[in-house]
Amino acid sequence: MMENKDIVVVGIQPWDIPIGSNCKDIATQFAQGNRVLYVNNPISYIDFIKDPDSEKTKNRKDAIKYPENALYQESKNLWVYTPPVKTYPINFVNHDGLFKVLNKVNNKKFAEAIKKAVARLNFKDFILFNDQNMFLGYYLKEHLRPEKYIYYVRDNLLNVPYWKKHGHKVEPKLISKADMVFTNSLLYEENARRYNEKSFMVGQGCDTEMYQANMVAKAEELMGIEKPIIGYVGFLSSKRLDIEIIEHIAISRPDYEVVLVGPEDDSFQRSNLHQLANVRFLGPKPPETLPAYIKGFDVAINPQRLTKATMGNYPRKIDEYLAMGKPTVATRTKAMAYFGDVVFLAKDKEEYVAMIAKALASDSEEKQQERIAVGHAHSWANCVATMYNHLQNN
C-alpha cells in the first residue's frame, strides 16, 4: 500500500468522458490514501471548428474564460483540472522536424498550466502517471520533473490511424525515458520491455462492487426468453468485433437467442444480424443496469476481431462477465491466454459455436463460484496495489 503521496494523472481520456475509463478508475483508486490531480487535455484550435458545440468543447472554453474555475475538487483527495490553454493540431503535419517543434510548444503550454494547478494544491515530489498520452506527455518529464514518471500502456494505439503516423517514432522513445511502464496485457509488457526493462503487466480492474452476482436480479427485458441466451454487452463496433462470428452463431444455432446490449456503429446497423429472428438488439443501457443484463445471459461472449490493434487487448468486460459468474467464450489472443483456466477461447466462428455448447453443458455452481472469485480478484484495488508494489521495489 502506498499512502500520503501526491499523484498527477494525465491521459487521453478526459474526466468528462461519458463511458467507462481505465484512467478514471485508476485515479479514483489512487485517491484512496493519496492526493490526486486528474488533468484533462486542453482544447485544440481545431476543436473550435470540428466540434464547437459538444459538452467537452464547452467545458474547455469555460476553463479559458473562467480560469479560476478550471480546477475543482471532485471528491476527497481527488481534483480535476482543465488547463485554460489552447494547443496546436499537429497530427496532420508530415515533416518530422515541424511536428517536433509544435509538439514542444504544446507540451510547454500544457506543463506550465499543470504547474499552476500543482502550486495551488501545494503538491510536492509528485508521481506523474501518463495514460498513453504519447504526444502531449512526451516532454512532461523534463518540464515537470516528477519524482517518478510512469507510462501506462493499455491499448495498441500504434494501429489506430490518428496515432500511427507519428506514434511509431514517439511512443518507443517515451517508453524508454519513463521511469517505469505499466501495461494491462502480457503482449504489451513484452513490447514495452524492448525499450524499458522496468515494464510490468499489472492486470486490469473491474468495478467489483457493482458486479455482485448474488445481489443482482435478471433484467426484465430478458425474462420472457425461453432459449439459452448468448449475450454481449458493450459498444457494437465493427473495428473491434467480428460480425461474421455473431452471425454464424445465430444461423448455426437457431435454438439460441443472441442478445446484444449496447450502441451500434454503422456496420452493425447495416448488417444481416437485424434480419435474423433469434438476434435481439437491446440498444445502449445505463452502466448501472448492465450487471442485470449479464445476469440473464447463459453464456457471455466477446467475439473480438483479430487485428494488430486488438491482439493485445485486455477487455474489461471479461472481468465483468466473470464477476457475475457467467460462462464466457472469447477470441483466442495472447492477452486472453491470461484467462485460459476460466474462459473458453475460440480461434474462429466454428470454434465459437463448439465452445458455447461446451460452456452450456459444463456449467455448474462450483464453476460459477470459481469464475466469481477470479473476476473479483481483478479489482481496481488489486490492480493498483500491484502498481504500488512495483513502485516500492524497483
Instruction: For 65-92, give the DSSP string.
Output: H-GGGSEEEEETTEEEE--S-EE---TT
Cβ pair 278, 305 in contact under 8 A = no
Q: Which three cell numbers stand for residue 10?
A: 494525465
pTM over 0.85: no
- Residue 335's pLDDT band (cuts 50, 70, 90): confident
Q: Are strands 328-331 and 344-346 parallel, antiparallel or unpaired?
A: parallel
Per-residue model confidence as pLDDT tens digits over 131-170: 999 999 999 999 999 999 999 999 888 888 888 889 999 9
As a whole number, mean pLDDT of residues 60-75 equals: 92
With beta carbons less than 8 A apart as the criterion, state whether 87 and 45 touch.
yes
CB atoms within 10 A of CB 377: 14
Pairwise CA distance, residues 320 & 177, whole Å: 34
Q: Which helix (H) or strand (E) holds 30?
A: helix 22-30
Residue 70: pLDDT over 70: yes
Give the whole-angstrom CA distance, residue 33 versus residue 12.
Answer: 24
Q: What residues have CB less than 8 Å from 98, skipping those under 6 apart? A: none
Query: Is 130 in contact with 149 (CB distance < 8 Å)?
Result: yes
C-alpha cell read off for 26: 485508476
pLDDT of 314 strictly over 90: no
Instruction: Say if residue 391's pLDDT is above 80.
Output: yes
Indicate the burial class of 367 (C-beta count within 10 angstroms; 0-12, 13-18, 19 or more): middle
| Contact between 79 and 121 (Cβ < 8 Å) | yes
The pLDDT of residue 336? 86
At residue 93, what are phi and psi to the nearest 5 degrees?
-65, 130
pLDDT at 309: 65
Q: Return d(Cα 114, Cα 10) in angstroms, integer.
A: 10
Count the Cβ atoms, other than its own, within 10 Å of residue 82: 28
Helices (H), 299-348: 316-323
Cβ–Cβ contacts within 10 Å for residue 33, how many? 15
Query: 242: how many CB neighbours lie within 10 A of its CB?
Result: 19
- Digit-coded pLDDT (tens) for 178-195: 999 999 988 899 999 999
Determine contact, residues 42/113, Cβ cutoff 8 Å: yes
CA 155/CA 167 separation, integer angstroms: 13
What sections of 280-364 are H helices per DSSP?
A: 290-295, 316-323, 349-362
pLDDT at 372 over 90: yes
Element (H, E) at 216: none
At 319 the pLDDT is: 92
Please report, as a single letter, which amino acid is at residue 55: E
